[in-house]
Amino acid sequence: MNVTLHVCTTCRAGEPIEDGAPRPGAQLHAALTEAGAPEGVRIVPVECLSACSQGASVALSAPGKWTYVYGRLRKEDSADILAGAAAYAATDDGLVPWRERPVIFRKQSLARIPPLELPE
Amino acid sequence: MNVTLHVCTTCRAGEPIEDGAPRPGAQLHAALTEAGAPEGVRIVPVECLSACSQGASVALSAPGKWTYVYGRLRKEDSADILAGAAAYAATDDGLVPWRERPVIFRKQSLARIPPLELPE
C-alpha cells in the first residue's frame, strides 16, 4: 500500500461550472473511489495539482518510483486510470512498459519526475 | 543539499533541430550549470520529463516537499529558474508564497504533486 493516486478535486477542466454543481475533478474522484483502488494503491483527494489548463488531472507516486502526472481525464476514464495505477504499483521503479500502459496514459502524460534521491 | 532541480536535456521544445545541434533542453541545462546552483540545490540532467509539448521543462523536488514541474522555458530563463529554486529550497514544504515566485513559475507551472507520504 505504498502507491498514492492523487486526484485533483477542485479541477474545473476548463468548463464553466454552475453554482453548487460538482466539478469534473470531484466527479472523477468520486468515480475512482466508487470503483475502488487496486491493491497497493491509495486514492487521495488533493486541492489543485496546478495543471488547471489540462485538467482533470491525477498523479501517481510512490517511494523510489518515478512520479507521473496525467491530464485531460474524465470520470469515464476511471477504469483505465485504475488499471494503469495497478500496473504502476506492480513495478519497482514506476516505469510500466509502453504497451502495457492504458492509452490515456500514453497520450495524456503531462509530466514525469525521477524518484527522489538522497544526496550522496 | 536536498533539493533536486531536474532538467530535461533531450527536449526539443517543439522546434526542428538540425543534426548535431544542441537541443533547447541541453542548452538550458548548460546555462543553469554555468550560472551555478544555489545553496542546497543540485542540478541533475534527465532524459525526458514527458512534458515534450510544453518543453523545455524542469522539475523541483525534495523529501517532504511538494514537487513542481515548469515548462516552456528557455536558456534565457536560467537566472529566474535558479532564483525560484533558491526560494523553494528555503521553504519547509516547497510552497513559496505567490508574490515571491518568479513570474515564469507563476505562469508556466505544468503540475505540482504533494509530498510523498508513508502509509499509515
Q: What domains lie within chain A, and their CATH numbers?
A: 3-113 (3.40.30)
pLDDT one-digit tens code per residue, B15-73:
777 878 888 999 999 999 999 999 999 999 999 888 888 889 999 999 999 999 999 99
Cβ-nearest to A6 among B59, B63, B113: B113
Which of A29, A84, A36 minimizes the C-alpha distance to A57? A29
C-alpha cell at A40: 497497493
Q: Give the CB-side neighbour count of residue A110, counting CA atoms within 13 A.
A: 28
Question: How far does the CA of residue A93 sit from the closest CA of chain B (Å)?
Answer: 15
Q: Over the stretch A26-57, which tens digit does the pLDDT of each residue have? A: 999 999 999 999 999 999 999 989 888 888 99
pLDDT interval class at B119 (50, 70, 90): very low
Looking at residue A120, its pLDDT comes to: 47
- Quote the longest CA-to-CA distance of chain B: 52
What ipTM is given for this predicted complex? 0.90
pTM for the structure as a whole: 0.92
CB-nearest to A113 from B42, B67, B117 is: B67
**Mutation test of the interface with chain A: which of B69, B73, B95, B98, choosing the one with the most A Cβ atoms within 10 A?**
B69
